[in-house]
Structure 1
Amino acid sequence: MNGNTVYDCLTYRNENINLALEALLVGKMIQIYDSDSREGETDLVIPAKAVTFKDVKWMRKDAGGLICVAVDPVASKQLKLPFMAELVREASKTSDVLGEVVEKDGDLKYDSHSSFSLWVNHRNTRTGIPDDERALTIRKIGEITEKSLSGNRVRFGDEFRTPGHVALLRAAEGLLDKRKGQTELSIALAHMAGVTPAMVVCEMLDNYNGKALSKEKAKEYGKDNRLVFLEGQEIVEAYITWKGCE
């Protein structure tokens, strides 16, 4: 990971980026809006290692989307995390039903493929669904990600079992050079902040119209709750500059 901070590296000053990195460094929540041309959704985002049961409750009640953990591509490979579509595709060789439902080219309206990997519970959980148990699973994902990137030999199955209640997202190799989803945007920010690149993301939904929360309403929520709101393009531009400092 690069030791530079945004302050001594970026050639331009983006206060939103600076504030977001400061928040992530101390384990606080931020908001990321991907883009109008992708999902058009705002996610609540926080480092996995910092998550408490109160954060899970916050995301569950105020965001309402799926609580997922995005994992760095290098760590994903070292931990041997598969893409869910690949698992289903392999299993479809012996199941006609799976062959009919597995993700195909053109299925997604916003991207070429999804980043879903396994759904897991930590082995020290009972059912895995209460807020404290999900928080434990999430923190342990952060810890094993850090261990794998530090050169330690770890076996993912020693700590986790599937199926479970926490969805893993495998970030694309090359991150924002290859894909600009919430998965890659959050992991790019983690690298820029110097925190373990395992990030919790959860979509913000509208309680009144059944749709994703609009960008305008998400910004209002962020202002009311003192959250930094970032546009995906802000992250892309800052990440390009940050990479030039390596």
Structure 2
Amino acid sequence: MDAGANGYSENIRRAVTALQNGEMILLFDLEGREAETDFTIPATAVKPSDVRWMRNDAGGLICVALDPDASEKLGLPLMADIIREANRSNSALSRIVEKSGDLKYDSRSSFSIWVNHRDTRTGIPDNDRTLTINKLGEVVKNTLDGENIHFGNEFRTPGHVATLRAAKGLVHERMGQTELSITLAKIAGITPAMVVCEMLDDETGNALEKKDAEQYGNDHNLVFVEGEEVVEAYEIWLSSQPQKKN
């Protein structure tokens, strides 16, 4: 990788600029993991046309990845933990909730709760999902800025937008698009709430092949970023951060 300003590769710098401008990029995790490419865009920048674009051209699940510190302050648990707790009154759930070894691509999933903003009607139309997504970005920003946000005042669950809680250690702990997208947000200096949506193949129904996703990016002038590039850039970013005093 050729080093550019601050040591970042040209590709990472292009991705950072796109995200800072509220634009869509394509984000690939790793070969041998999910090996999926996700449409990725800042939650605060999403418009109804972006939701339509994702559901038509990507076709996967439209989710919002959330910063781990903001998730903790907002009281957003992992869905698996909610189900384990509910198992106390419904033992059948113990047979459903994910266990170690269940997932073929990771040790656990990052799903938290599914929400609608309280100002939506049904929650599923493009404009409803846009409102929910934008407001998720807003509460993450305000929470990290020190505001005391009551999540339930803004959102209700069940809903139509899946939230994903990033691992505390981000890509040092887990290499999902959840952590990769939040890591990119940190590097870009934008609100760490990112929309991700898997690209699926219309013919096979499987994840779109990497080469086809790259071609889509070329055809639509979208930056294509790989997980390994993000990890390398994150190490550079971390080295530039002020050291915390004990």
Q: Calculate the TM-score normalised by the size of structure 2.
A: 0.95
**SS at the partner of 1:200?**
strand
Is 1:145 aligned with 2:145?
no
Which of 7, 16, 23 is residue 21 of structure 1 equivalent to? 16
Which of 48, 53, 56 is residue 53 of structure 1 equivalent to? 48
The more displaced of 128-137 and 93-102 is: 93-102
Distance 1:9 1:76 in 2: 30
Which of 142, 152, 155 is residue 160 of structure 1 equivalent to? 155
Distance 2:205 2:51 in 1: 21
Distance 1:7 1:46 in 2: 23
Tell me: CA distance 1:189–1:128, structure 2 relative to 1, closer, same or farther (3 Å): same
Is 1:91 aligned with 2:119?
no
Unaligned runs of at least 5 residues, structure 1 = 1-5
Question: In the TM superposition, what is the alpha-carbon distance from 1:93 to its structure 2 partner?
Answer: 1.4
Is 1:238 aligned with 2:242?
no
Q: What letter is aligned with 2:35?
A: G
Q: Write out aligned runs for 1:49-128 (5 A).
A: 49-128=44-123
Aligned to 1:41: 36
Distance 1:65 1:42 in 2: 10
- CA deviation vs aligned residue, 1:68-126 (integer Å, no higher than 9, x gap): 00000000001010000000000011112211101100000000000000000000000
Aligned to 1:31: 26
Distance 1:147 1:227 in 2: 29
Distance 1:17 1:238 in 2: 7
Query: How many pairs were matched up?
Result: 239
**SS at the partner of 2:184?**
helix
Q: Write out aligned runs for 1:191-202 (5 A).
A: 191-202=186-197
Computed over aligned residues only, the root mean square deviation of the Cα atoms, in angstroms, reads 1.0
Q: What letter is aligned with 1:223?
A: N
**SS at the partner of 2:115?**
strand
Q: What letter is aligned with 1:16?
A: N
Distance 1:9 1:50 in 2: 26
Unaligned runs of at least 5 residues, structure 2 = 242-246
CA contact (8 A) 1:93 1:99 kept: no
Q: Calculate the TM-score normalised by the size of structure 1.
A: 0.95
Distance 1:7 1:89 in 2: 47
Question: In the TM superposition, what is the alpha-carbon distance from 1:177 to its structure 2 partner?
Answer: 1.1
Structure 1's consecutive aligned runs of 4 or more residues displaced over 4 angstroms after TM superposition are none
Identity %: 59
Aligned to 2:6: 9
Distance 1:23 1:202 in 2: 17
